[in-house]
Amino acid sequence: MAASAGNNTLTGLIPVIYESMDVIPRELVGSLAAVTMDPSAEMAGLNQTIRSHVVPQGSLVDIVPGVTNASASGQTIGYADLTISKAKTYQILWSGEEQLLLKDQYQKVLADQFRQAFRTLGNAMEADVVNGIALGASRATGTAGTTPFQVATSMGDFANAIKQLDDNGAPQTDRSIILGTTAAASIRANQTILLKANESGSTDLLRTGALGTVEGFAMRTSGQIKTGQGQNGVAVGTASGYVLNGAHAVGQTSITVGTGTGTILVGDVVTIDGFKYIATSSIAAPGTFTIAAPGLQVAGVSSDVVADNATSIKNCFLQKAGFLLATRVPAMPAGGDSGTDMTIVTDPVSGLSFQVVMYRQYRQIVIDVAIAWGVKVLRPEYCGVLLG
């Protein structure tokens, strides 16, 4: 057989696997670097609950000179429970004849197959992250159906996103804006100020195409923010004619509507008194639905219009602590399964750990590349949507 015996063990394939893993940071998976990550090589089962710590915001203490220092009040470290909702594998199948036919090309083809495995799994996680932000963010800015950044040299879209995070009390650091390819193209086409090193302070966009950092946002691009029907693949409601039923206070998240018809679905952008909110529950008739924290920005009165926005592309912006991606290695039964060799490989850039298992079958081998993950909005007020 052209492939050596070492090629049929995972130990011999480790260099190939790690070389292939370099594709992860090069893909359009910008959201994976923008969110809080809890990667681990520990095993977890599908639908298992994972507890991730959440550090609260501390308080300041006055400095008072004295013989002893002030007593520290300490902190209660919170947590977020997250469900491992996906456990996926990418399978690579080789027969003896296929290895023999490829001869010296076997290693190169196998490396490309591993690249496709990491790319496909990374894109699946990316899709869950951007959809999770779009469905659970506090509010939206921009106009549905209008690509942002079209006004040359205008920083208005950035400014509105910054204002939303500032108004919601999000920290000034670790902020990112995640753009679909359409919005990213709009920046490259219209915001020529970013091409001028003397004005933007960088030649990255001009020389390498990297969007860099603008107005405190790390600019990231996601291939999973797509055009077409629905909001990032999520259906849009059909609400028409809804109005508020009764007075609603600032900060209220429970919204009661009367009259009108149609549905308001989770993730819909609803406009009330000029502010665009994200619906976090659904209705199919006059009744009560909820919006994300921090709730209404201005008090509402009876008969205020509640308008459901049209289909849109949902670009995202957030502060890192607003969203969590937890990854684990898929569970194996006690004593193992029929796999003859297993290893865990960890991407040094993202921290993602993948389970690689080899199964020896009749005149063929199957290699599983697997990972399990779950996503959750930790702080809706730290997440926002830029409509396009």
Least confident stretch, 77-81, 161-165, 166-170: 77-81
Least confident stretch, 6-15, 210-219, 243-252, 345-354: 6-15
For residue 199, what pLDDT band results from cuts at 50, 70 and 90? low
Number of Cβ atoms within 10 Å of the Cβ of 251? 11
Least confident stretch, 89-93, 316-320, 351-355: 351-355
For residue 371, what pLDDT band results from cuts at 50, 70 and 90? very high
Q: How far is the C-alpha of 348 from the C-alpha of 336, rounded, in Å?
A: 27
Q: Bridge partners of 263?
A: none
Kind plus residue range of the DSSP H or E element containing 258: strand 254-258
Average pLDDT over residues 319-345: 89
What are the DSSP calls for 111-162, one per residue?
HHHHHHHHHHHHHHHHHHHHHHHHHH-SEEES-TTS-TT-STT--HHHHHHH
Question: What is residue 4's predicted lDDT score, i.e. its pLDDT?
Answer: 39
Q: What is the phi/psi pair of residue 28, to 5°?
A: -80, 65
Average pLDDT over residues 190-209: 55
Please, what's the b/e burial string for 135-169 (b: 16 or more CB within 10 A of its CB; e: otherwise)?
bbbbbbbbebeebbbeeeeeeebbebbbebbeebe
For residue 314, what pLDDT band results from cuts at 50, 70 and 90? very high
Show the tokens assigned to 34. Answer: 């923008």
User: 353 or 164: which carries more pLDDT confidence?
Assistant: 164
Q: Which long-range contacts (CB under 8 A, 24 or more apart) does 241-245 make?
A: 242/286, 242/305, 242/306, 242/307, 242/308, 243/302, 243/303, 243/304, 243/305, 243/306, 244/272, 244/300, 244/301, 244/302, 244/303, 244/304, 244/306, 245/286, 245/302
For residue 142, what pLDDT band results from cuts at 50, 70 and 90? very high
Question: What is residue 164's predicted lDDT score, i.e. its pLDDT?
Answer: 96
Average pLDDT over residues 170-189: 90
Q: Is the pLDDT of residue 363 over 80?
A: yes
Work out the burial of residue 134: count CB atoms within 10 Å of its CB; fewer than 13 is exposed, 13-18 middle, 19 or more buried. Answer: buried
Q: Is 302 helix (H, G, I), strand (E, B) or coil?
A: coil
Least confident stretch, 15-24, 214-223, 298-307: 15-24
For residue 122, what pLDDT band results from cuts at 50, 70 and 90? confident
Average pLDDT over residues 71-99: 85
CB 363 within 8 A of CB 303: no
Q: Is the pLDDT of residue 260 over 60?
A: yes
Least confident stretch, 54-58, 79-83, 175-179, 319-323: 54-58
Q: How far is the C-alpha of 302 from the C-alpha of 55, rounded, in Å?
A: 39
Residue 279 has what DSSP assignment?
B
Question: What is residue 208's predicted lDDT score, i.e. its pLDDT?
Answer: 38
Q: Is the pLDDT of residue 121 over 60?
A: yes
Average pLDDT over residues 206-220: 69
Average pLDDT over residues 349-373: 89
Question: What is residue 233's predicted lDDT score, i.e. its pLDDT?
Answer: 54
Report the mean per-residue pLDDT for the chain. 84
User: 180 or 33: which carries more pLDDT confidence?
Assistant: 180
Average pLDDT over residues 47-71: 78
Predicted TM-score (pTM) of this structure:
0.84
Question: What is residue 198's predicted lDDT score, i.e. its pLDDT?
Answer: 45
Least confident stretch, 228-237, 331-340, 365-374: 228-237
Question: What is residue 347's predicted lDDT score, i.e. its pLDDT?
Answer: 76
- The structural domains of the chain, with segments of one domain joined by +, span 135-230+314-320, 237-309
Number of Cβ atoms within 10 Å of the Cβ of 334? 5
Share of the chain above pLDDT 90, in %: 40
Q: Is the pLDDT of residue 141 over 90?
A: yes
Question: What is residue 115's predicted lDDT score, i.e. its pLDDT?
Answer: 86
Question: What is residue 229's predicted lDDT score, i.e. its pLDDT?
Answer: 41
Question: What is residue 255's predicted lDDT score, i.e. its pLDDT?
Answer: 96
Average pLDDT over residues 204-223: 70
Question: What is residue 384's predicted lDDT score, i.e. its pLDDT?
Answer: 96
Prior bond of 171 cis (ω within 30°) = no
